[in-house]
Structure 1
Amino acid sequence: MSPRLAGLASVLAIVLISSAAVVLDGALEDCLPVALQLSSSTEKASGNPDAPKAMDLIVIDYNGARREFDLGGRKGCATLSLSSVTSGTAERGLSSSDWTAVTGEQSKPHVWLPTSSAWVSLWQHEKPGTAPVADDFESLAQSPLVLAMPRSKAGRFKEGLADADLSFNWSVLGQLLQDGKPSQWGQPGLLSHGSPQWKAFSLRKDDPVESTSGLFALIAVAKAATGMRVTAAELPEYLRRIERLVPNDINPDGTQMMRDLRYEARCGSPDWGDRTSAVIVQESLMYQYDADSLGGSPKSSTPCPAGGSGGGEPDDLVPIYSTTNWVMDHPFVPLPGLTAEQRAAADDFLAFLRSRTAQQRLADSGLRDKDGKRFPESGLTELNDRMGDERVVLPESVTAPPGLAVQGPEIAAIRDRWLASRKPVHLMVLIDESGTMARDGSVAGKNRIDEVRSALHRAQAWLGRNDEFAIVGFAAKSRRNGGTIGPDKRDLCKNVCVDPVRWEGFEEDRFKSAVDNLRVRKAANDTPLFQAIMGAQQQVAQRKAAAGRAGADDIYAVVVMTDGVDDYWGQSADEVLNNPREDIRSIPVYPVCFGITDREAEPLDRILKATTGLDSLSVDVAGTKGSLSGAFVSAFSNAVRSSY
C-alpha cells in the first residue's frame, strides 16, 4: 500500500461514521442535510477501513470538504455512504424487488457506480420498467480488457505470435486449444517459445454473471468467434472449449480472484505456474495486482502455509492488448426515484468527481481518464516507467473502435448461449436448520437463517433453465438431548433430512419459494452434519442412476452449509470418505462454513478435497458481513464450472 493510502486508511471508519456531524458543524449548521447512498463496483471500493480503494477515499474527501449546493434558495449539504458490490450482483439487486436479499447490503443506493454501462443496458433490456431511462451516462474513468501474463511468460508468448505473423486479438484464444484441450507450452504453434515445464496453457478469468471483466471476456470471445465464421449453433460448443482453459476454483468476483492469485504467487503455491498462464482482466485490476493495492483481502495478510515458499514479491503481470479494444467506461448512474434534494446532492458529488483530487484517486487505482488516456506521473504511467521494457509498454491512450459497443439484447443473447454451453447441473442444496441458526448473523437485523436465504437468492444466478435443484434442510435430536433414533444405513437421509427431497427444474420463482421455506428447527435442534451429507450424496446418486445413459455426462453435486460441528451419534468425516458405496462417496460436496473455526472446519476441508480435488474452502470465523453470500456464490460457481 502506498504511503498516501496508508495514511488515510486509519481514519476511514471514523470519517464515515462521523460524517453527519461534520456537515452539521460550524459554517454548515444552517444547511439542509441530504443522505446519499452509493454502491460501487469492487475494483473501486473495498469497504475495508484497513485497505481503502479509490472510491472509499473519495467519499472521505467529499465528506470532509464540507461542500454546499443550492436547493432552490436554500443551502444543501450531503453525507455520503458507500457499499462495495460487484456490478453483476448490483444489477440483479437493483432490478429485483429486494436489494438486500440479493446483495446482502441494507441500504439501496441512490447512485450506482458500476464498472460498465453494459450492466445498465442489460437491466434496461430485462426489466425496462425499473431501469434508468437514459442511454448515456457520464464516464468517470476508463479501463480496457487485457490479457495479463506473468512477465516470465509474456515475452515468450509474444515471440510465438511474431513467428506466426499475428497480432493479438481475442480469436487467438481459440488457437490455444488442440483437439478441444489446452495446448502445451513448448509444443509447435503459438506456445512454441514456452518452457515445457509450464505444461498446459491455463487461463484465469472471473465470472460473467458476477463481474465485468468476465462479461467483457465472454462478449469479446463470442464476437471474435462470429468473425471467425462460427455459427450461432456452433457458438455454445466453442465457448465450452474456451472455458476448458479455466480452472474450476476461480472466485467469480474479479477483485477477489486477483487477491487469491497474488496470494498463491506470493506464497509459492506448488501449482501456481501450471495454473496461471494468463488472466483476462481489466487493466486497472492488473495494475492493482502489481502495486499490491487490491485491498480488502483476508488472504493478503494471511501467513503463507507450511510448505509455501513465501519468497517475496510475485512476478509482475504485464498486459497484452487486443487489436480490438473492449473498454469499460465506469459510469456515474443516478437511479430512478431520487428526490429533488437527492438529485442535487448527486450532481454535486459528480462535480466533485471531476475535481483534481478525485481524479488523482482514480489514477492511483490504475484507471485511465474518461478519454482513455493515462494520467501523467502516477498510476499506469508510474507502472509503465517502472517496467522499462518496450515489449510491455502501456499505451498512452486506449479507446474502443467506433460502433463496438453491444446493447442489452445482444448481451443477454451471448450470456444465454454461454449458459447453454455447459452440461446440465443437478444440485442438491443442503442447509443446516439446527438451533444455532437462530443466532444473530453478520448483517444487522438478520439471524443466520435469514442471511442464508439472502445468500441463496444471490447464488441462484449460476443456475439455468437446463438445470434442476433440490433444497433440503437438516437437523436432528441427538442422544445427548433425548433423541433415540440413530443413523439408518438403508436410507441415509431418514431422521436427519427434515424436508422432503423434491427435484425441480430451475426457475427463479420455484427456487425462491423453496428458499423461503427454510426455517430453524426448535424441537430437533442438533447438527447431524455427516449423516446429512451422506444422505444428500445418496439422493444425488439415485438421481444420477435414474437418468441413465441420457444424463450420464451431466453434473451431479451437493452444496452443504453449516454453522456448527456434528453433534449427532458421534459420526465423523471418515464415514463420508469411507462410504463402501463408491457411487455415493464420489458425489462432489462443496461446503460453506459460517462462524466456525479453522479447526472445526477441517473435516469439511477433507471432504471438499476428496470429492472435488479443490482446495478453496471458505471458512469465516468471525461471521464477517457479506462473507456468507460470497461463500455461497463461490460454492455454486465452482459446482457449475465443473460442467464445462
Structure 2
Amino acid sequence: MASGRRWLPVTVAVVVGLAVIAGSYLYVRLDTDRSDCVALGMVSSTEKNDLVAELAGRYNKSGRRFGGQCANVTVAGLNSGQAMEALAGDWATVAGGIPKPQVWLPTSSLWTGQLQLRDRAAKRPEQTPGEYPSIANSPLVIAMPATKARVLQQRGELGWGDILGLSGDEGWAAFGKPEWKRFTFGKDNPRLSTSGLAATIATYYAATGTSSDLIDADVRAPQVTQFVRRIEANVSHYSDDVVDLLKSLAAADLSPVDEGESDLSAVVTQEELVYLYNEGQLSPRTADKPGEKPHEPLVALYPKEGTFNLDHPYVVLPGASTAQQKAAADFLAFLQESPQQRAFAGLGFRDHQQVASAELTKVVGGHETDKRPYFKPPSPTVVQGILDSWSTLRKKANILMTIDVSGSMTNQVRSKTRLEMATEAAKKGLALLNSADQVGLWSFSSEKQGSSAAPYQQQVPLSRLDLGHFSDRLSGLRPGGATALYTTIRAAHSYMLDHYDRTRINAVVVLTDGENEYARDNKLANLLKDVALDPDRPVKIFCIAFDKGSDLATLEAIAKAASGKAFDARDPQLIDDAFVKLLSSF
C-alpha cells in the first residue's frame, strides 16, 4: 500500500501536466486561429493612436473572450476635427484610405457635440447623442518656461486674462522684466485642434466669470468680445498642431544661443504634452540618439477661474453591429484595467477617473492640480457661436505669399500642370482668411538673360485681401526660368520687416517645386542668418515643398530659423491639405 501511495503523486503530476499541455494548445489555437473573431475598427485622435494601437495588439494576443467570442481590434489615427467632419459627410473623401470605424476616440466630447449639430442640420439621426465613458483625461493648461512661470507665480493665483492678456507692447515690463520684451503665446487653430477649441472656449468663460451655463448672449456681449480680442492679440501664430509648437520650443531650448530662438512666452496645451516635453519625448532625436530633456522645463499653470478637461471619450458609433457593440464593451473594459491605465500614465495622461499620478504632478510643476475646477462644456450651438465669433476676433495677419513659377512648374500632374494645381490650392486656402487680413503676392523664378530686374516680381501689393482680384492674379501667372529661392526669401523677409505691423501676425509664405538654382545667391548659411527670428519683431517663414524635386530639408531649416514651419506636399495630391493647414496658422 505504501508503494502504491508513492506512485500516486507521479500519476497526478502526469495528468496535470497533460492538462496543462492541452490547455496551452487550446490557448495557442485560440490565439492563432482568429478567423471567427469580431472585426472592430477604431479611429483615435493622433496624440494617443500609437498607444491605443499597441494596447489593441496586446488585447488581440491575450486570448480574451466575451460571451464565447473574441475580437480583432484595429486602430487608425486621425485628427479629431477631421474625423468629425468625415463622420458628418463623405467618410471616404475626407478620411482618405482609412476604413470607416465602429468606435471613435476623439480628444474631447466637444467634438461629439459638434457632430450632433451637423447631424441635426442634415436632418438625420444623431450619431453621438449621449455622454460617453473616458479612457483617459488631460486638463488644458498654460505651459510656460520655469523661469518665467516663477515670476508669474510670485503674484499668486492668476487667471486666463492675467496671463494671456499681458499687453503685447508692455509685456514682461509689467512684471519687472523689461529685458524679456513682448509677451506672445502659441495656440492652435480652434477649427482644427481640440486644445485650440478648448482654449478659445475657456477665454469666453473667463470673460464672463462663470464655469457653466454659457449662453449665446454671453458670447456676443461687448465686454466679452473685448476680453477675448485682448487675449487673441498676443497670439504668436495659430498652429495646426500644438505638438509642432512644443517641438520647436524644445529645439530652440537645446540649440546653441546663436542657432535657435523662440518668440513664445507660453503655449496653451494639454497637460500630458507638458509631461512629454519635460521628459524629452518632444526634443529633436535621431535614429541613434533619443531626445534629451530640455535645459529648462515647462511648468503647467492652471488659471484660477478653472480650465477644461479633455476627457478622451470612448464613442461606439451606431453603425456597429450587435457583436461589434459587445466587442467594443469588452475592449473598453480592457482599456480601463490597471495595466493599460499605467500605459496611459506613462504618456502623461490622468486615468479614466481623472486621477493624476504622483509622477505626472511632479514632472509638470509640482502642484496639487486635482482640486482645480473644470469648466462645464457649453451646448454645441454655443460652441459653434464661439467659433463664428472667433473668426472676427482672432489676430489678423500680414502675409507675403511667394510662388515659384520656374519652368518645372509646367510639368503635368495628371491633367493639370504643377502651377495650376498650386494656384488652385492657394485660392482654396485663401478662402480661410479674413477680409481684414493683409496679403501680398510675389512670383519668382530667375531674371531674364541680360535683364537687370530682380528674379521676383510683385503681383499684388501688401493690402487688405480682395479674394477675387488675388485669384485673378494667381490665374495669370506664367511659368519659365530657374528657381531663385534664397534671394527671393531674403528679399521677402526684408520687405515684411519694412512693412512690419505689431498688431498682426507677420509672415512670408513660400511655395516651390525645386531647389535653389541661383548662382548669385547660393549660401544657405548666410540666408539662415539673415532670416533668423527676432523675438521682438518676428517675421515667420512658412514653406510648402511641392513635388519630389523640392529640397524639403533646406526648407525645413529655413522655416526653423524663422520659427515657422515647412509642409511636405511632395506628393502633389497633398497640396490642398498643406495649404489649408498653412493658412490656418493665420
Fold shared by both chains (TM-score > 0.5)? yes
Shift of 1:329: 0.9
Shift of the 485–458 alpha-carbon distance from structure 1 to 2, 3 Å rule, reads: same
SS at match of 1:318: strand
Question: Of 545, 549, 554, which residue of structure 2 is paired with 1:593?
Answer: 545
Aligned to 1:562: 512
Whole-Å separation in 1 of the counterparts to 2:44 and 2:573:
15
> Is 1:264 equivalent to 2:238 in the alignment?
no
Aligned to 1:521: none
The answer to whether the Cα contact below 8 Å between 2:42 and 2:105 also exists between their aligned partners in 1 is yes
Aligned to 1:40: 44
Amino acid at match of 2:47: E
> Is 1:275 equivalent to 2:275 in the alignment?
no
Question: Of 105, 109, 132, which residue of structure 2 is paired with 1:117?
Answer: 109
Aligned to 1:16: none
Shift of the 174–461 alpha-carbon distance from structure 1 to 2, 3 Å rule, reads: same
SS at match of 1:286: helix
Aligned to 2:158: 168
> Is 1:62 equivalent to 2:59 in the alignment?
yes
Deviations 1:284-336 (A, max 9, x none): 11111112234xx8x443999xxxxx996321212222232321111012234
Whole-Å separation in 1 of the counterparts to 2:337 and 2:228:
42
The answer to whether the Cα contact below 8 Å between 1:87 and 1:114 also exists between their aligned partners in 2 is yes
The answer to whether the Cα contact below 8 Å between 2:132 and 2:315 also exists between their aligned partners in 1 is yes
Whole-Å separation in 2 of the counterparts to 1:451 and 1:346:
42
The answer to whether the Cα contact below 8 Å between 1:434 and 1:475 also exists between their aligned partners in 2 is no
Shift of the 566–470 alpha-carbon distance from structure 1 to 2, 3 Å rule, reads: same
Amino acid at match of 1:116: S
Tell me which moved more, 416-425 or 554-563: 554-563
Shift of the 258–86 alpha-carbon distance from structure 1 to 2, 3 Å rule, reads: farther
Shift of the 435–151 alpha-carbon distance from structure 1 to 2, 3 Å rule, reads: same
Aligned to 1:616: 564
Whole-Å separation in 2 of the counterparts to 1:352 and 1:563:
48
Shift of the 424–565 alpha-carbon distance from structure 1 to 2, 3 Å rule, reads: closer
The answer to whether the Cα contact below 8 Å between 2:541 and 2:565 also exists between their aligned partners in 1 is no
Aligned to 2:84: 91
Whole-Å separation in 2 of the counterparts to 1:257 and 1:244:
18
Amino acid at match of 1:416: D
The answer to whether the Cα contact below 8 Å between 2:52 and 2:75 also exists between their aligned partners in 1 is no
Deviations 1:500-551 (A, max 9, x none): xx96469xxxx9xxx9x9xxxxxx99776559x98xx99xx9xxxxxxxxxx
Whole-Å separation in 2 of the counterparts to 1:457 and 1:114:
30
Aligned to 2:345: 363
Deviations 1:38-78 (A, max 9, x none): 22223213xxxxxxx532422332232243445xxx73432
Whole-Å separation in 2 of the counterparts to 1:235 and 1:184:
24
Shift of 1:603: 8.1
The answer to whether the Cα contact below 8 Å between 1:209 and 1:461 also exists between their aligned partners in 2 is no
Shift of the 400–558 alpha-carbon distance from structure 1 to 2, 3 Å rule, reads: closer
Shift of the 392–527 alpha-carbon distance from structure 1 to 2, 3 Å rule, reads: farther
Amino acid at match of 1:637: S
Shift of 1:356: 2.1
The answer to whether the Cα contact below 8 Å between 1:150 and 1:316 also exists between their aligned partners in 2 is yes
SS at match of 2:239: coil
Whole-Å separation in 1 of the counterparts to 2:572 and 2:243:
17
Amino acid at match of 2:374: A
Amino acid at match of 1:242: I
Aligned to 1:81: 75
Alignment of 1:199-598 (within 5 A): 199-227=181-209, 232-233=221-222, 235-248=224-237, 251-268=239-256, 275-294=263-282, 299-301=284-286, 313-323=294-304, 324-374=306-356, 380-385=357-362, 392-396=366-370, 398=372, 400=374, 404-421=376-393, 422-423=395-396, 434=409, 438=413, 462-463=432-433, 504=467, 529=483, 559-565=509-515, 590-594=542-546
Q: Could you list the runs of 5+ residues in structure 2 that have no partner in the other structure?
A: 1-26, 211-217, 460-464, 496-502, 528-538
Whole-Å separation in 2 of the counterparts to 1:41 and 1:343:
20
Aligned to 2:5: none
Shift of 1:136: 0.8
Shift of the 560–121 alpha-carbon distance from structure 1 to 2, 3 Å rule, reads: same
Shift of 1:170: 1.7
Whole-Å separation in 2 of the counterparts to 1:454 and 1:348:
47
SS at match of 2:61: helix
Amino acid at match of 1:463: L
Deviations 1:452-479 (A, max 9, x none): 899879967843577799999x999x9x
SS at match of 2:40: strand
The answer to whether the Cα contact below 8 Å between 2:38 and 2:70 also exists between their aligned partners in 1 is yes
Shift of the 470–182 alpha-carbon distance from structure 1 to 2, 3 Å rule, reads: closer
The answer to whether the Cα contact below 8 Å between 1:559 and 1:589 also exists between their aligned partners in 2 is yes
Aligned to 2:143: 148
Q: When the two structures are superposed, what TM-score results if normalisation uses the length of structure 2?
A: 0.69
Aligned to 2:33: 29
Shift of the 384–570 alpha-carbon distance from structure 1 to 2, 3 Å rule, reads: closer
Across the two proteins, how many residue pairs are aligned to each other?
517
Whole-Å separation in 1 of the counterparts to 2:513 and 2:481:
9
The answer to whether the Cα contact below 8 Å between 1:142 and 1:330 also exists between their aligned partners in 2 is yes
Deviations 1:225-265 (A, max 9, x none): 233999634544543332232323x6321222222222221
Whole-Å separation in 1 of the counterparts to 2:162 and 2:172:
15
Whole-Å separation in 1 of the counterparts to 2:71 and 2:261:
52
Amino acid at match of 1:82: A
Amino acid at match of 2:584: S
Amino acid at match of 2:252: E
Amino acid at match of 1:42: T
The answer to whether the Cα contact below 8 Å between 1:373 and 1:398 also exists between their aligned partners in 2 is no
Shift of the 467–67 alpha-carbon distance from structure 1 to 2, 3 Å rule, reads: farther
Shift of the 628–57 alpha-carbon distance from structure 1 to 2, 3 Å rule, reads: farther
Whole-Å separation in 1 of the counterparts to 2:150 and 2:504:
40
Shift of 1:593: 0.9
Tell me which moved more, 455-464 or 239-248: 455-464
Shift of the 60–601 alpha-carbon distance from structure 1 to 2, 3 Å rule, reads: closer
Whole-Å separation in 1 of the counterparts to 2:425 and 2:332:
32
Shift of the 182–66 alpha-carbon distance from structure 1 to 2, 3 Å rule, reads: farther
Whole-Å separation in 2 of the counterparts to 1:149 and 1:201:
11
SS at match of 1:145: strand
Q: Could you list the runs of 5+ residues in structure 1 that have no partner in the other structure?
A: 1-22, 46-52, 162-166, 305-309, 375-379, 440-446, 479-483, 497-501, 518-523, 542-552, 578-586
The answer to whether the Cα contact below 8 Å between 1:437 and 1:449 also exists between their aligned partners in 2 is no
Whole-Å separation in 2 of the counterparts to 1:241 and 1:468:
20
Aligned to 2:584: 637
Q: When the two structures are superposed, what TM-score results if normalisation uses the length of structure 1?
A: 0.64
Shift of 1:183: 1.9
SS at match of 1:618: strand
Whole-Å separation in 2 of the counterparts to 1:67 and 1:96:
35
Whole-Å separation in 2 of the counterparts to 1:337 and 1:311:
44
Shift of the 615–203 alpha-carbon distance from structure 1 to 2, 3 Å rule, reads: closer
Report which of the two structures shows the higher radius of gyration computed on alpha carbons.
2
| Percentage identity across paired residues of the two chains | 28
Aligned to 1:197: 179
